[in-house]
């Protein structure tokens, strides 16, 4: 597989970034792209923020004035991406992750912060590649299966099964 460049920036001070988390994010990005048979070199930006910062971004870009766990900003459409002219890499887009929300959710679901951040990264990279779960149904189920496949590959399988609700079908 071609070189994947993952640029990680920490813009929050609320949650201490555990040792190895940046490497996990890089491994997660690589696993998703490998699973999806992505061709050529790629570049992904990941930024850690707090709840207030992600709430503002969610309000600005999605018109939802509420904090969320992660936002994805794809730079491509239908498999066509901007190119970094210095490296030749396809710029897949930006992932903005609330470390504060990730920590809350890890506690809520009873698993590690690493598993939560890995899951949110897989979720977001799939969005960067064009996957969408907003309309529910089979697309949501497919995306969830791919997320869990990546998490299992990374040694971070789910501790509970995925249960469909009426909203999912």
pLDDT tens figures, 78-117: 888 999 999 999 999 999 999 999 999 999 999 999 999 9
DSSP state of 79: T
The dihedral through the CA atoms of 121, 131, 81, 93 has a sign that is negative
Residue 80 lies in a domain: yes
Beta strands 42-49; 70-74: pairing state: unpaired
Domain extent at residue 19: 4-153
Instruction: Note the pLDDT of residue 169.
Output: 40
Residue 162 lies in a domain: no
CATH number at residue 127: 3.40.390.30
Cα 126 from Cα 135, distance rounded (Å):
15
Residue 167 lies in a domain: no
pLDDT (tens digit, 9 = 90+) per residue, 28-77? 999 999 999 999 999 999 999 999 999 999 999 999 999 999 999 999 88
| Total number of domains constituting the chain | 1
Q: Among 22-31, 49-58, 155-164, whose mean pLDDT is lowest?
A: 155-164
Residue 144 lies in a domain: yes
C-beta of residue 169 within 8 angstroms of C-beta of residue 135: no
Residue 25 lies in a domain: yes
Instruction: Note the pLDDT of residue 151.
Output: 93
Residue with tokens 């809350």: 104
Residue 163 lies in a domain: no
DSSP string, 87-145: T--EEEEEEEEEHHHHHHHHHHHTS-HHHHHHHHHHHHHHHHTT---TT-HHHHHHHHH
pTM attached to this predicted model: 0.90
Counted residue by residue, the chain has a size of 169
């Amino acid at each position: 597989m071609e070189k994947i460049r993952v640029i990680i920036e920490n813009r929050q001070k609320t949650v201490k970034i555990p040792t190895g988390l940046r490497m996990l994010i890089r491994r997660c990005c690589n696993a998703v792209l490998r699973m999806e048979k992505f061709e050529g070199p790629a570049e992904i930006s990941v930024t850690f923020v707090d709840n207030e910062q992600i709430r503002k971004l969610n309000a600005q870009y999605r018109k939802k004035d509420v904090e969320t766990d992660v936002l994805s900003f794809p730079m491509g459409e239908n498999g066509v991406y901007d190119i970094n002219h210095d490296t030749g890499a396809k710029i897949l887009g930006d992932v903005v992750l609330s470390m504060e929300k990730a920590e809350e959710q890890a506690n809520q679901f009873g698993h590690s912060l690493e598993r939560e951040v890995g899951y949110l990264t897989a979720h977001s990279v799939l969005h960067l590649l064009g996957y969408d779960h907003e309309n529910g149904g089979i697309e949501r189920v497919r995306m969830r299966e791919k997320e869990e496949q990546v998490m299992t590959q990374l040694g971070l399988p789910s501790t509970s099964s995925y249960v469909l609700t009426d909203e999912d079908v």
